[in-house]
Amino acid sequence: MTRVKICGITELEDARDAALLGADSIGLNFYPNSPRYVEPSRAAKIIEKLPPFVTVVGIFLNHPDPQNVEDFAVSVGLHAVQLHGNETPDYCSMIQRVKVIKSFRVDANFRVDTLRGYGSGTFLLDGSAPGTGRSFDWELAFGANAFGSIIIAGGLTPDNVSDVVSTLHPFAVDVASGVESKPGKKDYDKMRRFIEAVQRADLAVMGAL
């Protein structure tokens, strides 16, 4: 079954709603220039109040020190870090105590075999302008599943997520702006419709097997 990550959470109420609606994971953005940035103290309170079985992922961009990222993740209570910059395979390998999700921007120059250099892991494939809600040509991601667990992001909404599930069969889908009323504020109904669309697509794929 396709997992669902609701990213860019900034409020406890939205985190709880996402979890109760069936989201497998929430994303907390620690990149200071993001409109969805969340203070560490606020993030810790959100994590503390979450129900069990919800994975919490922290988003980082070109942090200079992987050891500092790892220490921060452990101290706040993150289960994984999602790296959105130019982090190298060596950088990623230095983070051991939490899972690493390496993000790649997909454009006409992207090649899926780029993932090979990072070893077998978890990769997030995003549009060329992350955070803008713009999607990418999904055909460019064909074959990516051979290199690890693939998460598809970028421009996903309740209206198109079923298409990406049935086309690419990703490990997970990731949404932020597609389920918001404004940056950082989630819309309950949009989250519900998004998760339900993923579930329906999974059932359709299973029925076609």
Please check whether residue 36 is in contact with residue 8, taking contact to mean a CB–CB distance below 8 angstroms: yes
What are the E-state strand segments in 7-165? 25-29, 55-60, 80-83, 99-105, 121-126, 148-152
Half-sphere exposure of 180 (CA within 13 A, CB side): 21
Q: How far apart are CA 92 and CA 117, in angstroms?
A: 11
Residue of 7, 14, 17, 174 marked catalytic = 7
Q: CA 72, CA 59: separation in Å to the nearest integer?
A: 12
Q: Answer for the pair 24, 5: CB distance below 8 angstroms, yes or no.
A: yes
Q: Tokens representing 44?
A: 């810790």
Tokens of 118: 């990072």
Is 17 annotated as catalytic? no
**92 included as an active-site residue:** no
Buried b / exposed e across 3-39, counting CB within 10 Å, b at 16+? bbbbbbbbeeebbbbbbebebbbbbbbbbeebebbbe
Out of 14, 17, 107, 126, pick the active-site residue.
126
Q: Supply the residues annotated as catalytic.
A: 7, 126
